Amino acid sequence: MSLLGNLFRSSIGRKFLMAVSGIILVIFVTGHLVGNLQIFLKPDHINGYAHFLQSLGPGLWGFRFVMLACVVIHVWAAVTLSIENAQARGSEKYGVTKWLSAAVASRYMKQTGIVVGVFIVYHILHFTVGVAQSDTFKAALPHWTMLEDAKELGLPLAAKGDVVHDVYSMVFLGFSNTLVSLFYIVAVGLLTLHLWHGADSMFQTFGLRNKKWACCLRKLVALYAIVYFLGSITIPGAILSGIAKPAAGTTAASVLGSCSACTTSTSAQH
């Protein structure tokens, strides 16, 4: 009990909790992105994947609870450490040179964290809960009949003929809104800055960022952040620009694709 108490009471313990919760959240957002990139495949892929997650039932809610706990712990640790550091500095002022030498991501961790928090809440309300959706979006919340077995990753995601939620159409309809897509791109950009500095700090917290490895680790973190950002904005960017067209037969095609181009360009998929 004393060890657990020290984790929450001491500065070192809070840094450790912040780092561990950060690692879990980094793994989650990476997996979330990989799952979302299935939007560029046939509707069966992402719809079967979403159906599998929903079929987990209590397991899915347990996972969501763990993620929520990680977010709460991460934010709490960040706030308490920030207050503690401010009190320790007192009236001390940093010189201009020292301020300029700090990384942009490091200087704005608090601000990016706030925007990212707002984005997460909106994202959940928009795509998970469904209360932040337009009437057109709600009216089009569709179902999809699987055209073939979806067994990616060796898991029985969904079988041919199963009626599942058409997440494919939900993504297209959601990101067809210019404001939603632009907000998503900006928020993901700030999240990337947050991940960039946060991942770098995690290595330091665990004592892995020494003189020998510091340069390589920073380059690795930078590469991850760039790939994550580009992968994330590809989805709203492709949909908003019209590069990605909804597949024929989906609700998204009927709502967005009154144009013949939507049906024609994707008819080969079926």
Q: Does residue 97 sit within a domain?
A: no
Of the candidates 173, 154, 176, 157, the one whose C-alpha atom is nearest the C-alpha of residue 47 is: 157
State residue 236's pLDDT score. Answer: 93
Instruction: Count the Cβ atoms, other than its own, within 10 Å of residue 63.
Output: 13
State residue 177's pLDDT score. Answer: 84
Q: Does residue 133 sit within a domain?
A: yes
Q: Does residue 22 sit within a domain?
A: yes
Range list of β-strands (E), 67-139? none
**Domain span at residue 226?**
2-89+108-269
State residue 226's pLDDT score. Answer: 92
Spatial distance between the Cα atoms of 236 and 245, rounded to a whole number of angstroms: 12
Residue ranges for the chain with pLDDT beneath 70: 1-8, 85-86, 88-113, 115-116, 119, 122-142, 149-156, 206-214, 257-270
State residue 56's pLDDT score. Answer: 84
Say if residue 9 is exposed, middle or buried (CB neighbours under 10 Å; 0-12, 13-18, 19+).
exposed
Say if residue 168 is exposed, middle or buried (CB neighbours under 10 Å; 0-12, 13-18, 19+).
buried
CATH of the domain at 241: 1.20.1300
Q: Does residue 129 sit within a domain?
A: yes
Q: Does residue 141 sit within a domain?
A: yes
* Angle in degrees, 0-180, between the axes of helices 214-241 and 167-175, rounded to the nearest 10: 90
Looking at beta carbons, which pairs linking 179-186 to residues 24 or more positions away fall under 8 Å?
Answer: 180/126, 180/236, 181/236, 181/237, 181/239, 181/240, 183/119, 183/122, 184/119, 184/123, 184/233, 184/236, 185/233, 185/236, 185/237, 186/115
Q: What is the tally of structural domains in the chain?
A: 1
State residue 97's pLDDT score. Answer: 43
Residues in a beta bridge with 163:
145
State residue 142's pLDDT score. Answer: 62
Q: Does residue 50 sit within a domain?
A: yes
Q: Does residue 96 sit within a domain?
A: no
